[in-house]
């Protein structure tokens, strides 16, 4: 963390949660307290240091470009946040064109697609297909395309920060010892979470607990699995940012060539991370893991809705926040949703996660079920599932043929007469 105008404290007991999330598991969701009307504490278009006061945009950018890593948070579906991120990228790039942009939205396995996109060899449709966007991230790509176009237009390298949800789930279930396996591509054991972070995650876990437990303690095995998943998520992104930062650095040269080497060595890039604000706030997530990796000069910058309760703007939540207009999601064409996150397996669509209260959960589908047929049609690719659900009229039933372990069962997904 970096002090923007005053000392920033990170050991804060928080009263809010992380951002509603992306396609894959355990995305974090914000809790907004039920409070009365409060005076706007971060005016639209202004910067504020939490726990301090107003600060100029020029000073924020000047401070940020002198850090190794700049983290720009977001609520994934909030278009105002993405507009702010684009403005920030442009401002940072003007002052420091040697930049790398890392994105939470992409797992590492699609890095080549990002390289090809920046090189200009893919159309938008080809890029999104090669990057497995529909499977990897449930948010409309239109929200992010301006950021992707900015990187491509300026030939700024894009880095995939994430790992596949199945790997996070495996670590959640089996523990960190499995990280030694090649499929984890060098992700190392995360730094231990602070007590404050565990309290923070407990609030989130209780909100999303599907077992309806009356009492949950930190020793709860399911909660510990949840924590491991979050730690790995933070660690993987921190390591990818660290790698991007050090990739261009040359090893030290001893002897008469040392001065020449220092003068000609590529400048360290400014690495910018685009990710859910919940991975940034209070320094608990990615900043904590970056510090464990030896990177302490990190700027944490967040957008702040004008109608958000001022009581949440506590010292340490970020180095600086920028006021944006309250975002109201407009009603687009309504579509049916089954409420699953899945991947294509050897035979059918393997369910990775089921949304609470969804059609899938009510129908009795479970994690790791494999949907082999939908309405009598074999499932071979992602769009077989997506298009079948989109075709469903309100109030209709969709027959599914599912394998669960060694069994093959029939399940009926019943869609409401009213699309919610």
Q: Which two tokens stand for residue 334?
A: 């309504």
Last residue of a domain, one of 281, 298, 324: 324
In terms of domains, do 382 and 243 share one? no
Question: What's the pLDDT score for residue 26?
Answer: 33
In terms of domains, do 112 and 145 share one? yes
Q: Which of 16, 44, 37, 27 is nearest to 306 (CA)?
A: 44
The answer to whether residue 39 is domain-embedded is: no
Q: Which two tokens stand for residue 247?
A: 């990739």
The answer to whether residue 212 is domain-embedded is: yes
In terms of domains, do 365 and 315 share one? no
Calpha distance 133→236 (Å, rounded): 19
Number of structural domains (the chain) is 2
pTM as predicted: 0.71
Q: Looking at the predicted structure, is the pLDDT value of residue 33 above 80?
A: no
Question: What's the pLDDT score for residue 4?
Answer: 67
In terms of domains, do 223 and 94 share one? yes
102: domain range? 47-324
In terms of domains, do 305 and 347 share one? no
Question: What's the pLDDT score for residue 336?
Answer: 80
Average pLDDT over residues 191-201: 91
Average pLDDT over residues 390-403: 88
Calpha distance 78→30 (Å, rounded): 13
List the helix and strand counts (H, then E) for the chain: 13, 14
In terms of domains, do 320 and 344 share one? no
Calpha distance 227→312 (Å, rounded): 23
Calpha distance 351→403 (Å, rounded): 11
- End-to-end CA, the chain: 41
Last residue of a domain, one of 295, 324, 353: 324
In terms of domains, do 351 and 319 share one? no
State how beta strands 54-55 and 99-107 pair. unpaired
178-182, 201-205, 371-375: range with lowest mean pLDDT: 178-182
Residues 86, 153 contacting (CB under 8 angstroms): no
Q: Looking at the predicted structure, is the pLDDT value of residue 255 above 50?
A: no
Question: What's the pLDDT score for residue 164?
Answer: 86
DSSP class of residue 418? Answer: S
CA 17 to chain centre: 14
Question: What's the pLDDT score for residue 84?
Answer: 97
Q: Looking at the predicted structure, is the pLDDT value of residue 256 above 90?
A: no
> Does 37 or 80 have the greater pLDDT score?
80
For residue range 319-364, what is the model confidence (pLDDT) as tens digits?
A: 999 999 987 765 555 678 899 988 888 789 999 889 888 999 999 9
92 backbone dihedrals φ, ψ, rounded to 5°: -65, -40
Number of Cα atoms under 13 Å in the Cβ half of residue 119: 8
Q: How confident is the model at residue 180 (pLDDT cuts 50, 70, 90)?
A: confident
In terms of domains, do 57 and 102 share one? yes
**CATH code for the domain of 362:** 2.30.42.10
């Amino acid at each position: 963390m970096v002090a923007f105008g005053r000392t920033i404290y990170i050991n804060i007991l928080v009263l809010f949660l992380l951002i509603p999330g992306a396609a894959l598991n355990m995305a974090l969701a914000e809790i907004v307290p039920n409070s009365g009307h409060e005076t706007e504490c971060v005016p639209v278009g202004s910067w504020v240091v939490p726990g301090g006061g107003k600060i100029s945009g020029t000073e924020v950018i000047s401070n940020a470009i002198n850090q190794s890593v700049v983290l720009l948070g977001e609520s994934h579906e909030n278009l105002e946040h993405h507009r702010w991120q684009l403005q920030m990228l442009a401002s940072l790039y003007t002052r420091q064109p040697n930049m790398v942009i890392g994105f939470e939205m992409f797992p590492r396995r699609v890095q080549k697609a990002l390289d090809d996109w920046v090189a200009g060899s893919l159309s938008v449709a080809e890029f999104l297909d090669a990057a497995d966007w529909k499977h990897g991230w449930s948010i409309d790509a239109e929200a992010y395309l301006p950021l992707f176009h900015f990187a491509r237009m300026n030939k700024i390298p894009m880095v995939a920060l994430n790992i596949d949800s199945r790997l996070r789930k495996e670590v959640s279930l089996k523990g960190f010892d499995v990280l030694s396996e090649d499929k984890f591509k060098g992700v190392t054991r995360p730094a231990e979470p602070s007590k404050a972070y565990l309290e923070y995650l407990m609030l989130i876990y209780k909100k999303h607990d599907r077992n309806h437990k009356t009492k949950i303690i930190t020793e709860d095995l399911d909660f510990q699995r949840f924590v491991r998943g979050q730690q790995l998520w933070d660690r993987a992104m921190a390591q990818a940012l660290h790698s991007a930062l050090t990739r261009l650095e040359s090893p030290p040269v001893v002897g008469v060539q040392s001065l020449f080497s220092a003068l000609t060595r590529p400048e360290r890039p400014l690495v910018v991370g685009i990710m859910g604000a919940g991975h940034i706030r209070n320094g608990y997530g990615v900043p904590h893991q970056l510090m464990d990796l030896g990177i302490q000069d990190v700027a944490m910058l967040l957008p702040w809705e004008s109608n958000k309760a001022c009581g949440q703007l506590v010292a340490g939540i970020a180095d600086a926040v920028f006021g944006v207009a309250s975002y109201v999601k407009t009603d687009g064409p309504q579509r049916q949703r089954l409420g699953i996150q899945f991947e294509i397996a050897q035979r059918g669509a393997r369910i990775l996660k089921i949304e609470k209260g969804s059609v899938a959960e009510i129908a009795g589908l479970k994690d790791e079920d494999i949907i082999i047929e939908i309405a009598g049609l074999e499932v071979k690719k992602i769009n077989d599932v997506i298009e079948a659900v989109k075709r469903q009229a309100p109030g209709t039933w969709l027959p599914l043929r599912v394998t669960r372990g060694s069994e093959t069962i029939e399940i009926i997904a019943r869609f409401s007469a009213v699309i919610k």
